[in-house]
Amino acid sequence: MLRVALHTLWARRGLLVGSFVALCLGVALLASTGQLLSASTSGSGLGGIGRYDAAAVVVRADQEVPVQVGDRTVHPTAREERGVDPEVADRLRTTPGVTDVVADGSFALGLISEDDADTPFRDLVGAPWSNAPLTPFTVVEGEEPVAPAQAVVSRSLADADGITVGSTLRISAPTGRQDVEVVGVAEPPGGTGIPGEATVLLDDATAASLVPDGQLPVALGVFSEEDPARLAETIRQEFADEGLRVLHGPAKGGVAQDEIYQQGTQDITALLAMMAVIALFVSTFVVAGTFGFAVSQRTGELSLLRALGATARQLRVMLVGEALILGVLASAVGVFLGAAAAGQVAALLVDAGAAPPGFHAPTAPGPLALAFVLGLLVALAGVVGASRRGSGISPTEPPRLGQLDDSRMTRGRWITTGVCAALSALIASTMPTAAADGVVVFSFLLAVFLVLTLVSLAPLFVPALAAIVVTPFASLSRSSGFLASRNLRTGMRRTASTTAPVIVTVALAGTVFGATSITSATTARDSERNLAADVIVHSTTATGLPPEAAEVARAAPEVVGLASVTRTRGWVPTATYARATTIGGVDPTAVRHTYRLDVTEGDPATLDGESVVVSQPVLDDTGWEHGQVVPVHFGDGRVRELRIAAVLRNSVDLPEILVTPELVAQHSRDPMTAELYLTLDRTPADDDPLTELNDALAPVGAVATPGARWLWEREVDNAQESRVFAFVLIGMAVLYTSIAIANTLLMSAGGRIPELALLRDSGATRAQLVRMMSWEAVGVVLTGALLGVLAAAVSWTGVYLALARTVDAAHLAIPWGDLGVVAGACLLVALPASLLPVALLGRGRAGAGP
């Protein structure tokens, strides 16, 4: 039987090419995303000079923080890096073998400059000169910074920004603005600086004055003559169970490049994970479709085998055997293609700025093996339905030319329909209660199951629908339009099969584009309604605004009101998990002038160091109530018991949890103000340059923008970002489903040649045939687009309703333009594929018979 399978497989290679290509590309997609994913979650391996290279051992605080949820404790990673207690440094100094201990006193700083030239650095780091031995930095030009307001810069920073000995640096730091004099240039051994990091080493007094009091060092560098591994072990034993991590060798960290790299790759990890899910869904779908179609095209052959004595089981074994052979071959080729493509995609992502420089995807055996296995499983899953149908073919004489291809609703189809419809309903019913950030994922899932429902129901109504859709065209051209409509109606299996990938493409595109455009339009409208500030001030440096920015703004004659927001992050415990949240420090009275707060309970003005203002979505998830004393977990892992002073219906642009700025400063590493909200004595026009205010703000590294324009610019930025994201996702899916569309059409091409020959012999002109096939393609794509929009519309409604729960101005922004582009792309693929049989007919029409 296997030999028969092999033979027929080879003879039917034309039909199976479609399944092969679909599977091969699916596996390639999975393999390359898998490889990229594994690359994005591991280090760059670039190495380079690290900040702690000279220390034997580095001691850090454990970054896992306990959060009590229900009756168990979970341990998320700290969202503000936790520091080490100074007392640990003292005890380390007395540990045998330790010669010195240096506390890392570095902090993020901003450099204010007139020209905002691009800098090659992601991080601008300030540190006391006493930290120089950690790397070590040695002065190669000028002298060491010892007197107040002196600085030494790394050679790499000096070269990049044209800084020389004698220049003045204008520093913006958490505690304020400071001008320092550059007295020297320093280098670590074997380089011009720490790659990716611009280092400014200040005299110890100045450095200490720039960080808030009581901020703990993130690391302690331990110096010793001993073997680092042995020393680390000694320290680990001495400090067991004190929440410390004792590191040596490459694990010491402090390699700026690696940290930047990891941060950068985190961003694309989510994108890649979603791509992998889409790849899996779409490839399973397409492969199942092509297998099913290939089997339907072979009805004659299968029924002959049945007549010659093959049992249903034997046919099933044969079809599954074919799928396995095909699966192994296609998966193997796909894995190779994917592994090769991953490198190209990595380079593309770097070029597009989506991945950090140096991002590359080395061959990863794990993900590749997984992709291979998934490919086989997809092939098997795809053939299960087809083989059941194939083996059910009756052993009566095979159908001859002209027999109608009929495709009824089988029991399997009804079951699939039922299950998918039930799942859709289940998801739809949970959507209104889903957390806001879960809505997009839910709507996506909903669309997936709606598509599956529609596709499994397809034979029931799609051919008739396609025939109706094409009717208006039928009146344009009498005979070809009529024929196209009849063909769509009677070639049920073919019509249903070619429509399916169009439904998938349009529905996925509609869902992803729609969800992003609805959320961003809604956010923009909502901000517009709630923002009362006339002017927004934000930073021009890499960090936030120094305290002086608020002083300067307050001093400006036209400013009558001012509010600031400092931001940090943390968690709130729900019954089952630690829910991530944003925490903001605000002046409760000032913020009322710049934001129209929608207060549902209590009074935000009563906010003090012991209380908190919470927005409704947080209450929904935690079950908290107004007036209750609740545990708020800050990003550094510490918990505050705070009383709920007021409840806001939604947080608008503000963080979800509002406390006093002082409280945020205590728990944040970088407690600089993100934005200042100003009210003026007049309402500035959108294009008001605010010259006077900006002149005053420039020296402190700040810029003022009229509120409306600021919102608009931010909206454009956000929209741009999410559109790029959506296009990457959908572009891939569209590419893949286009292949499926072409596939089905090409697979049916062979079967259509005799029919077309017959039409030509009956007097149809070539142009009429071309028109007929074109109308068919149009009918299929339009029908698919219509149903795809239908599925997407349900998910739009879900997103809209979920948003409307917290926002008055939910706005149903439907991306018709983008959908048009996607449908157009489908048609562009479908047309030439439909016309192929006509072209083939022209070449070899003598051999018209089967």
Partner 1 sequence: MEPEVTEDVPLWGSRLRKVYGKGENRVPALRGVTVSFPRASFTAVMGPSGSGKSTLLRCLAGLERPTEGEVVLAGTTISVLGEPDITRLRRDRVGFVFQSYNLLPALTVRQNVELPMRLAGRRPLRADVELVLDQVGLADRATARPAQLSGGQQQRVAVARALVSEPSVLFADEPTGALDTNSSRDVMALLRDAADRHSRTVVMVTHDPVSAAWADRVVFLSDGEVHGELVAPSAAAVAEQMTTLGG
Positions touching partner 1 (CB under 8 A) are: 1, 3-4, 7-8, 10-12, 301, 304-314, 394-398, 400
Instruction: State the pairing for strand pair 244-247/57-61.
Output: antiparallel
Residue 104 in contact with residue 217, Cβ under 8 Å? Answer: yes
Q: Which residues pair with 570 in a beta bridge?
A: 581, 634
- Pairwise CA distance, residues 626 & 624, whole Å: 7
- Kindly tell me which of 251 and 307 has the beta carbon lying closer to partner 1: 307
Min. distance of Cβ 848 from partner 1 in angstroms?
15
Burial of residue 486 (number of CB atoms within 10 Å: 0-12, 13-18, 19+): middle
- Kindly tell me which of 1 and 476 has the beta carbon lying closer to partner 1: 1
C-alpha distances out from residue 293 to 26, 92, 284, Å: 18, 72, 14
Residue 554 in contact with residue 603, Cβ under 8 Å? Answer: no
Min. distance of Cβ 414 from partner 1 in angstroms?
19
Min. distance of Cβ 339 from partner 1 in angstroms?
34
Min. distance of Cβ 311 from partner 1 in angstroms?
5
- Pairwise CA distance, residues 174 & 227, whole Å: 38
Helices (H) and strands (E) in the chain, counts: 22, 24
DSSP-assigned letters across all residues of 208-269: HHHS-TTPPPSEEEEEESS-HHHHHHHHHHHTTTSSEEEE-GGGG---HHHHHHHHHHHHHH
Min. distance of Cβ 491 from partner 1 in angstroms?
20
- Kindly tell me which of 832 and 850 has the beta carbon lying closer to partner 1: 850
- Pairwise CA distance, residues 736 & 286, whole Å: 9
- Kindly tell me which of 11 and 229 has the beta carbon lying closer to partner 1: 11
- Kindly tell me which of 350 and 460 has the beta carbon lying closer to partner 1: 460
- Kindly tell me which of 305 and 503 has the beta carbon lying closer to partner 1: 305
Min. distance of Cβ 456 from partner 1 in angstroms?
24
Min. distance of Cβ 847 from partner 1 in angstroms?
10
What residues contact 220, with CB distance under 8 A and at least 6 apart? Answer: 58, 59, 60, 84, 88, 89, 92, 101, 102, 103, 104
- Kindly tell me which of 44 and 391 has the beta carbon lying closer to partner 1: 391
Min. distance of Cβ 10 from partner 1 in angstroms?
7
Min. distance of Cβ 315 from partner 1 in angstroms?
10
- With both helix axes pointing from N to C terminus, report the angle between 766-804 and 816-843 in degrees, rounded to the nearest 10: 160
Burial of residue 605 (number of CB atoms within 10 Å: 0-12, 13-18, 19+): middle
Min. distance of Cβ 398 from partner 1 in angstroms?
7
- Kindly tell me which of 162 and 309 has the beta carbon lying closer to partner 1: 309
- Kindly tell me which of 64 and 301 has the beta carbon lying closer to partner 1: 301
- Kindly tell me which of 11 and 273 has the beta carbon lying closer to partner 1: 11
- Kindly tell me which of 212 and 300 has the beta carbon lying closer to partner 1: 300
Min. distance of Cβ 820 from partner 1 in angstroms?
43
Residue type, 512: V
Helix (H) or strand (E) holding 372: helix 365-391
Min. distance of Cβ 300 from partner 1 in angstroms?
8
Burial of residue 458 (number of CB atoms within 10 Å: 0-12, 13-18, 19+): buried
Burial of residue 603 (number of CB atoms within 10 Å: 0-12, 13-18, 19+): exposed
Helix (H, G, I), strand (E, B) or coil at 150: strand
CB atoms within 10 A of CB 472: 10
What residues contact 660, with CB distance under 8 A and at least 6 apart? Answer: 585, 586, 587, 588, 607, 608, 609
What residues contact 470, with CB distance under 8 A and at least 6 apart? Answer: 481, 484, 485, 488, 775, 776, 778, 779, 782
- Kindly tell me which of 301 and 688 has the beta carbon lying closer to partner 1: 301
